[in-house]
Amino acid sequence: MTRRSLILAPSAAAWANGKPIRAAVYGTGHAHAMGKIQALRSLEGRYSLVGVCEPLLPRPKHQAVEGVRWLTEREMLDDASIELIAVESRVQENLAYARAAVDAGKFVHLDKAPGEDLAAFGRILHDAGRRQRIVQLGYQWRYHPAMNAAIEAARKGWLGEVHHVRASIDKPIPAAERAQLALFRGGMMFELGCHLVDRVTDLLGKPTRVTAYLWHHSSAPDKLADNTKAVLEYPRAMAEIHVAAMDPNGNSYRTFAITGTNGSMTVTPFAPLRLASHLKEAAGPYPAGRKEHTFAAEARSYTPDFLEMARVIREGAQPSYSARHDLMTQEVLLKACGF
């Protein structure tokens, strides 16, 4: 499945006539759910949020859902005017919800990580393409300006020959959340490492080998893999991804670093946006030596995802990531989680 095969014919006229995309949110159990609802509601003119559907959990008490219409599954799936469904359920339900949305002929925004069943995920992507729809994955740093600048520098050869990528996320996880994450074999690698696997595969593609290290090193009385590492091997490079659940200051030290024969690009922390270039020789817009770069954009607004989806639906634009890439990335993630 190529990007081009998944694109609906342009329908810019509908947008030119002032017709916003009617959208619904399916599930509220995902950690990103409230942020995604707020993002859709903020894009008035491009989107009209028809309502939210929560079949299993109590309705959340959050300002993001104040005044929204609550839909049943049948009301949502049978409404032909709804073009986009954002799946924001707990991860254990998200493939079933995405399947229902694709079968109903909708465009789908599917939050991370897309389950543990690679074959089922592949069938969903295939069937969406057959219906001339796309499934957009909600990896929140795909539109991160500092990370994208670092990846651009590597792709354009400004770092020389890239041989190493180092990425890490540490985040303290409360007991109730630990219990939920312990349901998944990869633990913290599955929950947060998925974002970093996505960034590495975007740059380097499919590795020749993946080695997973999944440890329970804390004193918490559960079975969560809370200190995890994955090593992705390539013919001329390697990537190391580390994710743990114990550092109380972990958000301040999240790191994505790319190193080549001419130097490195390091993003840390992820918010506020910071990029440090450290080059032997000047390349592209970057001088020799070490220099800090800042960005005005927000790192986690969630609106770039939906703005891209709006261009796909209304203008026939190409998505930034193909179904083939998303399926490959999911295969690599599951290997990094010990499958």
* Residue 249 in this model has a pLDDT that exceeds 80: yes
What is the chain's mean pLDDT, rounded?
A: 93
Task: State which CATH number among 3.30.479.30, 3.40.50.720, 3.90.1150.10, 3.30.365.10 fits the domain covering 4-140+302-322.
Answer: 3.40.50.720
Q: Is 202 helix (H, G, I), strand (E, B) or coil?
A: helix
pLDDT (tens digit per residue) in 280-310: 999 999 999 999 998 876 655 799 999 999 9
Tell me if domain 4-140+302-322 and domain 145-294 are identical in fold: no
DSSP category for residue 92: H
Give me the pLDDT at residue 260, please: 98
Cα 159 to Cα 39, 156, 164, 238, 270, distances in angstroms: 35, 8, 11, 15, 21
> Residue 57: which of 46, 49, 47, 65 has the closest Cα?
65
Cβ-based burial of 328 (10 A; exposed 0-12, middle 13-18, buried ≥19): middle
pLDDT band at 17 (very low <50, low <70, confident <90, very high): low
CA dist 312 and 136 (Å) reads: 10
Cβ-based burial of 119 (10 A; exposed 0-12, middle 13-18, buried ≥19): exposed
Q: Looking at the chain, how many residues does it have?
A: 339
pLDDT (tens digit per residue) in 207-243: 999 999 999 999 999 999 999 999 999 999 999 999 9
Specify the pTM.
0.92
pLDDT (tens digit per residue) in 64-101: 999 999 999 999 999 999 999 999 999 999 999 999 99
Give me the pLDDT at residue 295, please: 85
CA dist 26 and 299 (Å) reads: 24
**Rounded to an integer, what is the distance from CA 180 to the centroid of its chain?**
19
Domain ranges of the chain: 4-140+302-322, 145-294
Give me the pLDDT at residue 300, please: 58
Q: What's the whole-number mean pLDDT along residues 267-282?
A: 95
Contacts of 243 (CB under 8 A, 6+ apart): 168, 169, 170, 188, 189, 191, 192, 193, 196, 228, 229
Please check whether the domain covering 145-294 is classified as CATH 3.30.360.10. Answer: yes
Give me the pLDDT at residue 9, please: 39
* Residue 14 in this model has a pLDDT that exceeds 70: no
Give me the pLDDT at residue 110, please: 98
Higher pLDDT, 279 or 18: 279
Cα 126 to Cα 5, 214, 291, distances in angstroms: 10, 31, 45
Q: What counts of helices (H) and strands (E) characterise the chain?
A: 11, 13
CA dist 317 and 4 (Å) reads: 9
* Residue 12 in this model has a pLDDT that exceeds 90: no
pLDDT band at 46 (very low <50, low <70, confident <90, very high): very high
Per cent of the chain over pLDDT 90 is: 91
